[in-house]
Amino acid sequence: MSITIKEVEHIAALARLEFSDEEKEKFTHQLNDILQYIEKLNELDTSTVEPLSHVIELSNVFRDDVVKPSISAEEALKNAPAKVDTLFRVPKVIG
């Protein structure tokens, strides 16, 4: 299986990234190398294996829903690139 420049463009759009034509070509080449390498996993029959998503034994961790102190709006906005009063400011949504 190999990945095309068109697919790289599609993945980039999903990841909200944009690349120059030169970068696209380089990424396509490098991603293909990596994808070819990971194809290796298909040598293994895993039809009876359960996927592992958590490495230590843990079940759901529940806690009581209690009101506790949290960060203030001021702190939450401290690193905001742009803000108005207690709100994050962003460019217009509809162009």
Partner 1 sequence: MNVNEPFDVFRARLNSGEESCEARTQQYLSTISRRKNLNAFLSVFEDEALAHARSVDKKIKAGGAGHLAGMVVAVKDVICMKGKRTTCGSKVLENYEAIYDAAVIEKLRAADAIVIGKTNMDEFAMGSSTENSAFGPVKNPIDETRVPGGSSGGSAVAVAAGMSSTSLGSDTGGSIRQPAGLCGIFGMKPTYGRVSRYGLVAFASSFDQIGPFANSARDVAHILKVIAGHDERDSTSAKLPVPDYLAAMNRDVEGMKIGLPIEYFNEALNPEIRSVLEKRIAQLRDHGAEFIDVSLPHSEYTIATYYILATAEASSNLARYDGARYGYRSPYAKDLSEMYTKSRSEGFGAEVKRRIMLGTYVLSAGYYDAHYRKAQKVRRLIQKDFFDAFKKVDCLMTPISPTTAFKFGEKVDDPLQMYLSDIYTVSANLAGIPGISVPAGVDRQNLPIGLQLLGKQFDESALLKVADFLEQQE
| Other beta carbons within 10 Å of 56 | 4
Site for partner 1 in 35-94 (CB under 8 A): 35, 37-38, 40-42, 44, 46, 49-56, 58, 61, 63, 71, 75-76, 78-82, 88, 90-94
Q: Give the helix/strand (H/E) hosting 74.
A: helix 73-76
Nearest to 28 by CA among 2, 50, 49: 2
Contact call for residue 95 and partner 1 (CB under 8 A): yes
Alpha-carbon distance 39 to 30, whole Å? 14
Which stretches of the chain bind partner 1, using CB under 8 A?
Answer: 3, 7-8, 11-12, 14-19, 27, 30-31, 33-35, 37-38, 40-42, 44, 46, 49-56, 58, 61, 63, 71, 75-76, 78-82, 88, 90-95
